[in-house]
Chain A
Amino acid sequence: GNSVTQMEGPVTLSEEAFLTINCTYTATGYPSLFWYVQYPGEGLQLLLKATKADDKGSNKGFEATYRKETTSFHLEKGSVQVSDSAVYFCALTFNTNAGKSTFGDGTTLTVKP
């Protein structure tokens, strides 16, 4: 079956530090890949996505590149802010699968001033 593995957290960084959250997947075929963010007490919301190999998704200073050869979709940000503190989920979806998503376990990020 499909699976998504994220780097274990929690991750604690100082403001303006560089962020990487690793995500690798196991799947047969070429899924669409997503990063969702969950702020405290809220539901998940889309952060960025990539739908084919070598695509780069970007939003709010975050980036991730769909690497087919390494089955990875690592999330990066050059300079984090306190407001980036949240839980980040990597997910994959197949077109033939009724849009059902497979999620990683989430990585909690805390950014300190």
Chain B
Amino acid sequence: NAGVTQTPKFRILKIGQSMTLQCAQDMNHNYMYWYRQDPGMGLKLIYYSVGAGITDKGEVPNGYNVSRSTTEDFPLRLELAAPSQTSVYFCASSSQGARTEAFFGQGTRLTVV
């Protein structure tokens, strides 16, 4: 019963490097999300998807890209990493409708130096 799986758990990037954060869910959820969590702050939505082939920007999309080729996978791409992208990234999924909760992965702690 895996739920939402994120990889890697930790990563250190140099300024200007790129990387992809992987996210997969096995609950057949249509909705998927990427959030970032900065110290002492709540979660800010980066991108979200309501189904395969459909993605849209959240509150803080600059510097990121996503794709959703299958229901299960929702990778987040960082291009040209900057220190401001140092954060903990969470992927989440939910079934359709606001009355259901989101299920979160364990997070990826990213440091850009």
A: residues with CB less than 8 A from B are 4, 31-32, 34, 36, 41-46, 49, 51, 89, 93-101, 103-106
A32 to B101, CA, bound (A): 9
Sampled A-B contacts (17; CB under 8 Å): A41-B106, A42-B106, A43-B92, A44-B43, A44-B92, A45-B104, A51-B99, A89-B43, A95-B97, A95-B98, A95-B99, A98-B48, A101-B43, A101-B102, A104-B42, A105-B41, A106-B41
In the complex, which range does the number of interface residues on chain B fall in?
20 to 34
User: Which residue on chain A has the smallest CB distance to residue B31?
Assistant: A99
Question: Chain A contacts of B41 at CB under 8 A?
Answer: 105-106
Is the CB–CB distance between B48 and A100 below 8 Å? Answer: yes
Is the CB–CB distance between A49 and B101 below 8 Å? Answer: yes
Interface residues as binary, B97-112 with A (CB distance below 8 Å gives 1, 0 otherwise): 1111111111100000
Q: Which of B42, B100, B104 contacts A105 (CB 8 A)?
A: B42
Is the CB–CB distance between A43 and B101 below 8 Å? Answer: no
Q: In the complex, what's the smallest C-beta–C-beta distance from B44 to chain A, in angstroms?
A: 8
Beyond the given pairs A32-B98, A44-B92, A97-B98, 12 more chain A to chain B contacts, judged by CB atoms under 8 angstroms and listed by A's residue number, are A32-B99, A34-B101, A43-B106, A43-B107, A44-B90, A98-B48, A99-B96, A99-B97, A99-B100, A100-B48, A101-B43, A105-B41
Q: In the complex, what's the smallest C-beta–C-beta distance from A6 to chain B, in angstroms?
A: 8
Question: Chain B contacts of A95 at CB under 8 A?
Answer: 97-99
Is the CB–CB distance between A99 and B102 below 8 Å? Answer: yes
Is the CB–CB distance between A89 and B42 below 8 Å? Answer: yes
User: Which residue on chain A has the smallest CB distance to residue B88?
Assistant: A43
Q: In the complex, what's the smallest C-beta–C-beta distance from B102 to chain A, in angstroms?
A: 6
Is the CB–CB distance between B90 and A93 below 8 Å? Answer: no
A41 to B101, CA, bound (A): 20
User: Which residue on chain B has the smallest CB distance to residue A101?
Assistant: B102
Is the CB–CB distance between B101 and A31 below 8 Å? Answer: no
A7 to B90, CA, bound (A): 23
Pairs of residues from A and B, 3 with the lowest C-beta to C-beta distance, nearest first = A43-B104, A103-B42, A95-B98
A79 to B84, CA, bound (A): 40
A103 to B37, CA, bound (A): 11
Question: Chain B contacts of A51 at CB under 8 A?
Answer: 98-99
